[in-house]
Structure formats: structure tokens, C-alpha cells
């Protein structure tokens, strides 16, 4: 039977290659189908033990195969990544999750607010450049987390993300060198540096030396072809997230930090010219053309149109501006998504978007204080670091105004919620493993102790804090091998 399967697979691959050579236009879809067939065992394993990765991988797959640049062009095709992520969630199935209710409710309020305003502006007022690219992909954040179908395999999920991030970084560099179609430059560009950082962080967390070397080499390659400061900003944010996770502040401290972040965001938006001035030395260092004046002009134009700061135009008007790029005037995003959403729905909308990410941080930090599984803790920190990197990068890049990048960001957020939910529900990570013949008594005892710890945590009264803080990955009983 094995020999017959090998012969069948060999003949099938030969037919696929011959068909792709004979019809070049069919190369990409045929190659994609072949990859899906070859990856079927891996996808089944991910669906069982790391289902939280699949919506994110689906969104990234759309971007990696978008050789025509449809995800950044006008038209319905730019929402294909969003459709792929939502379809994957539906196929996998979702589960109720009370712990992330505040996060998903915030996303739903902002989504409804923006969608109603956008539709009214489009059909009643004739608005052309509305907020649908910013609001549409947010539907992903409104969905409950996916449900796993077996015991959690956190390391497998981390490895899958490391591979995806490495491939993305390679694609970004190759598109700059002209190896890939020029239309993919803006699809795989530096604005999505958080994906590259995700790949490195996942490889480090998985403790896979080969993936660590590959992800770092791919990141250096992508950066060398276009040394954008966004890469450094995303990496610094991810590192700061690791430090925040090790600190693990309690509820009162988190509230204070949230207020500081809110106030700091407002000050940053209103004083963006001073922040831009700080980047001049970097442009000189790497030999890039300083586009700070262009960015400042875009921001000033947007601020001059903000006549009603609280609600602005209720998402019924345009949120783009006319900027001079390469010597020509053209309609462009503001290149600061928080200013863009403020221009669309006022400070109320900006506060909701920022609150979405603050709730994500709170959910992750609460999970880190409660869970003992070191692999799960690593996964939560990696995902939170990537989410924060995307959120911070949006201060200087159109992350959410790009439907493809926005879909990937909210898929990251959904993966984070799912990673936190697994511990809370106890349905995947706590699935009992069948005893194998020859299992030692010490292993069985360790499992019993682990089960008793989980029972003790579930029996703890609501709102009570753990008796001792568990540091990320430092418990000897749960340290990864």
C-alpha cells in the first residue's frame, strides 16, 4: 500500500508540473493546490492541537500569493484576506468565551459604529474614500475564538508561525530585488514588519535553532533591501511586551498604565511634528530619503479637517487626504491610523480602537498570572508582542487602512484570544492523555499533580489572586525541554 501511494503521488506531481509548464497562467493556482495537498497532514495536526494558528495562516497565505496586488487595489478583492480568515474560523468552529467579552464587545461597537456611518456616507452622501477598508476587517475581532479538537500542541503552533514569518520576510526582500513581481512590493512591504517580528519571536519561543537562524537571516535580508525604521519600532515594541509580561502588573497598575497610554496617544497625535523630527538622524544613518516633511504635511492636512473632535463626521466622510508623493498630488491614507480613525469617527472611535488593544493586553496579562504551562505562556507573549507591534506601527503606517494588513492584525488578535481561552475553558490543554504501556509511575504522579493544580485554580474564588506569581517559563515542572 505504501509503494502504491508513493507511485500515485509521483505521477500526480509529474502531471501537476507538466500542466503548469504547459499553461503558465495556471501556475499559481496549481501550485497552491499542490501545496494544500502536501500540507494536509500538517493542517490536520494544527487543527487538532493549534487551531488558533489557522485563521492567521489563512490571512498570510492570501498576502503571500497575491502576485497581482489585489489586496491593496480598489475593489472587493482587497477583502479576500478578511474572507479567508472568517471562513477558516467558521470551518473550525468557535466556542463561547466570557473572558474576552469586553474585548469583543468593544470591537463590535466600533464595527457597528463605523459600518453604519460608512454605508450612510456611501449611499446617501456619495462618499468615495470612506472607512470600509479600516472597519471591514474588524469583523474578525468580533468573533469568538476558534475551538481546538485535541490536546494543545503549543510548540507546533509556534513553529508554524515561525515558518510563515520567515517566508514573509524572504518574500519582502525578493520583491524589492525584482525577483518577485513588482506588484508584491506594497503587499509584502515594511508596513507589515510585525509579521517578520512574529516569525523571529515564535522561533525563539519554540526553541528551534534552525528556525531561529532562518528567521533572523530572513529578517536581516528584508531589512537590508529596505531599511525602514518600522522594523526597529516593531522589534522594540515586541521586546517591551516581553518585559511587560515578566512584570505582570496587577489590575490597579494596569488601569493606570491604560490611562497613561490613552493620554500619551492623544499627545502623540497632536504633536506628531516633534516625533517626526526625531527620525531625521536615522534617515541619515541608513542613507534613506527623509520623508518626514511629507508625513508632517499629511498629518497637518488631516488635523485641519478635524473640525468636530468628539465624533467628527460619524464615519460618513472621507478619511483620506491629498498628498504630494514623488512630485504628484494623489489621494493617500494619512499614514497614521489613529489619526485616520479620529478623522472618521472622532476621539470616541480612536478611544475604542485603542481600548481594543488595551483589553487584549489585560486579557493576556491576566492569563499569564494564572497559567502554569510554560509553552502556553510563551505562546501568549509571542502573540501579544506581535499584536502590540502592529498597534504601535500604525502610528506611522496605514496598517488598518490596508485591508490585507488589517485582516492579519485582527487574526493575530483572534489567535491571542484563543490562546488565552484554552486555559480558561480547560477543554483542550487539560485533555487527559491516554496512558501508554510502560508509562512510569513518576510520570503518572506528575500528571496527577498537574491535574490537582488545575482543579485548585478552578476552585479559587472569583476575583482572588494566585498565592504566588508564576514567572514566564521559569517553573521547573513545566519548563519546555
Where are the domains positioned within the chain? Answer: 36-425
Scan for cell 514569518, then name that residue.
Answer: 165
Which ranges in 23-130 belong to alpha helices (H)? 27-38, 40-49, 54-64, 80-92, 101-123
For 325, list phi and psi in degrees, rounded to 5. Answer: -115, 125
CA–CA separation, 167 vs 161, rounded Å? 10
For 321, list phi and psi in degrees, rounded to 5. Answer: -135, 165
Cα→Cα distances 336→136, 175, 210, 265, Å: 18, 25, 36, 11
Residues of the chain with pLDDT under 70: 1-37, 272-273, 276-278, 287, 289-292, 323-329, 422-481
pLDDT of res. 254: 85
* pTM higher than the cut 0.85: no
CA angle 458–462–465, rounded 5-degree value: 85
Amino acid at each position: 500500500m505504501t509503494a502504491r501511494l508513493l507511485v500515485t503521488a509521483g505521477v500526480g506531481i509529474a502531471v501537476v508540473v507538466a500542466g503548469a509548464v504547459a499553461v503558465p497562467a495556471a501556475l499559481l493556482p496549481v501550485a497552491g493546490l499542490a501545496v494544500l495537498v502536501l500540507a494536509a497532514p500538517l493542517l490536520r495536526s494544527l487543527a487538532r492541537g493549534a487551531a488558533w494558528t489557522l485563521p492567521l495562516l489563512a490571512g498570510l497565505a492570501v498576502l503571500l500569493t497575491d502576485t497581482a496586488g489585489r489586496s491593496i487595489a480598489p475593489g472587493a478583492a482587497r477583502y479576500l484576506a478578511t474572507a479567508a480568515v472568517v471562513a477558516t474560523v467558521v470551518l473550525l468552529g468557535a466556542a463561547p468565551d466570557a473572558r474576552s467579552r469586553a474585548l469583543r464587545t468593544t470591537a463590535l461597537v466600533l464595527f457597528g459604529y463605523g459600518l453604519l456611518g460608512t454605508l450612510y456616507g456611501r449611499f446617501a452622501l456619495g462618499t468615495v474614500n470612506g472607512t470600509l477598508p479600516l472597519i471591514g476587517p474588524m469583523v474578525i475581532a468580533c468573533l469568538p475564538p476558534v475551538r481546538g479538537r485535541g490536546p494543545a500542541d503549543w510548540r507546533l503552533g509556534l513553529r508554524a508561525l515561525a515558518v510563515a514569518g520567515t517566508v514573509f520576510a524572504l518574500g519582502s526582500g525578493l520583491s524589492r530585488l525584482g525577483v518577485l513581481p513588482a506588484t508584491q512590493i506594497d503587499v509584502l512591504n515594511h508596513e507589515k514588519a510585525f509579521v517578520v517580528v512574529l516569525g523571529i519571536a515564535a522561533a525563539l519561543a519554540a526553541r528551534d535553532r534552525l528556525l531561529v537562524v532562518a528567521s533572523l537571516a530572513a529578517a536581516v535580508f528584508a531589512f537590508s533591501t529596505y531599511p525602514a525604521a518600522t522594523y526597529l519600532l516593531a522589534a522594540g515594541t515586541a521586546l517591551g511586551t516581553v518585559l511587560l509580561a515578566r512584570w505582570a502588573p496587577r489590575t490597579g497598575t494596569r488601569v493606570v498604565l491604560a490611562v497613561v497610554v490613552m493620554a500619551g496617544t492623544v499627545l502623540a497625535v497632536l504633536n506628531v511634528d516633534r516625533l517626526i523630527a526625531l527620525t531625521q538622524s536615522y534617515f541619515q544613518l541608513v542613507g534613506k530619503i527623509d520623508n518626514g516633511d511629507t508625513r508632517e504635511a499629511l498629518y497637518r492636512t488631516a488635523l485641519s479637517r478635524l473640525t468636530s473632535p468628539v465624533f467628527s463626521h460619524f464615519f460618513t466622510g472621507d478619511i483620506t487626504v491629498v498628498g504630494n508623493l514623488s512630485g504628484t498630488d494623489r489621494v493617500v491614507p494619512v499614514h497614521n491610523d489613529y489619526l485616520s480613525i479620529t478623522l472618521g469617527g472622532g476621539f470616541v472611535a480612536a478611544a475604542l480602537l485603542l481600548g481594543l488593544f488595551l483589553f487584549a493586553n489585560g486579557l493576556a496579562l491576566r492569563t499569564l498570572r494564572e497559567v502554569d504551562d510554560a509553552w502556553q505562556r510563551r505562546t501568549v507573549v509571542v502573540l501579544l508582542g506581535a499584536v502590540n507591534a502592529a498597534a504601535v506601527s500604525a502610528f506611522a503606517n496605514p496598517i488598518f487602512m490596508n485591508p490585507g494588513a488589517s485582516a492579519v492584525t485582527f487574526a493575530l488578535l483572534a489567535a491571542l484570544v484563543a490562546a488565552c481561552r484554552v486555559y480558561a475553558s480547560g477543554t483542550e490543554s487539560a485533555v487527559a492523555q491516554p496512558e501508554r504501556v510502560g508509562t512510569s509511575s513518576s510520570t503518572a504522579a506528575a500528571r496527577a499533580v498537574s491535574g490537582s493544580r488545575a482543579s485548585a485554580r478552578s476552585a479559587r474564588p472569583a476575583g482572588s489572586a494566585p498565592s504566588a506569581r508564576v514567572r514566564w517559563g521559569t517553573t521547573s515542572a513545566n519548563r519546555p525541554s
